[in-house]
A and B are shown apart, each in its own frame.
Chain A
Amino acid sequence: MTNSAITADRPRGAPFRLRQAIARRVPVAVVVAAIIVVWYAAALLMNAALVRDAFEREETTYTVSELVAGTLNAERPLVAAPHQVIAEFADLVFGYPPDSPRSLVYHGAITLAATCLGFALGAAFGILLAVLIVHVRTLEKSLLPWIICSQMVPILAVAPIVIVVLGAIGLRGLVPKSIISAYLCFFPVAIGMVKGLSSPDPIERDLMRTWSATRAQVFWKLRCPSSVPFLFASLKVAISISLIGAIVGELPTGAQAGLGARLLAGTYYGQTLQIWAALLAAAIMAATLVGIVGAAERWTLRRMGARP
Chain B
Amino acid sequence: MSFERAGFLVAAVMALGALALPLGGGTDLAAHPALLAAISLAAVACVGAAMLPHGAALLGLIGAALCCKVTLVLLADPGVEGHAGAGFWSLVLAAWLAAALAVTRMTTLRPRRKALRRLNDAAIPLLFGAFVIYLWEAAVRGFGVPSVLTPAPSATAARFAASLPVLGEDFVQTFVRGVLSGYAIGCGAGFLVAVVAHRFDFLARGVLPLGNFVSALPIVGIAPIMVMWFGFDWPSKTAVVAVVTFFPMLVNALAGFSAAGAMERDLMRSYAAGPAQTLIKLHLPAALPFVFNALKINSTLALIGAIVAEFFGTPTLGIGFRISTEVGRMALDMVWAEIALSAIAGMAFYGAVALAERATTFWHPSLRSSLG
Give chain A's interface residues, CB within 8 Å of chain B: 24, 27-32, 78, 137-138, 140-146, 148-149, 151-158, 160-161, 164-165, 168, 236, 240, 243-244, 247-248, 251-252, 259, 263-264, 266-267, 270, 272, 275-276, 278-279, 282-283, 286-287, 290
Contacts and interface: CB of A to CB of B under 8 A. Distances in A.
A149 B216 contact: no
Contacts of B338: 157
Interface string B118-135: 000100110111001000
A251 B310 CA distance: 11
Contacts of A32: 206, 210
B222 interface: yes
A142 B216 contact: no
17 contacts: A32-B206, A137-B108, A142-B103, A145-B125, A146-B129, A156-B307, A157-B307, A157-B335, A157-B338, A158-B339, A168-B148, A244-B218, A247-B220, A259-B221, A264-B224, A278-B221, A286-B218
B323 interface: yes
Nearest to A259: B221
B314 to A, nearest CB: 12
A250 B84 CA distance: 38
Interface of B: 100, 103-104, 107-108, 121, 124-125, 127-129, 132, 148-150, 202-207, 209-210, 213, 215-218, 220-225, 227-229, 299-300, 303-304, 307-308, 311-313, 319-320, 323-324, 327, 330, 332, 335-336, 338-339, 342-343, 346-347, 349-350
Given A142-B125, A156-B308, A287 B213 contact: yes
Nearest to A187: B300
A247 B107 contact: no
Given A146-B132, A270-B228, 10 more contacts: A152-B346, A165-B150, A240-B216, A264-B311, A267-B227, A275-B224, A275-B225, A283-B218, A286-B216, A287-B213
Contacts of A168: 148-149
Nearest to A27: B206
Contacts of B132: 146
A287 B330 CA distance: 38
Contacts of B320: 156-157
Contact of B128 (A142, A152, A161): A142
A221 B225 CA distance: 51
Contacts of A142: 103, 107, 124-125, 127-128
A157 B311 CA distance: 11
A244 B220 contact: yes
Given A138-B104, A154-B307, A282 B221 contact: yes
A264 B343 contact: no
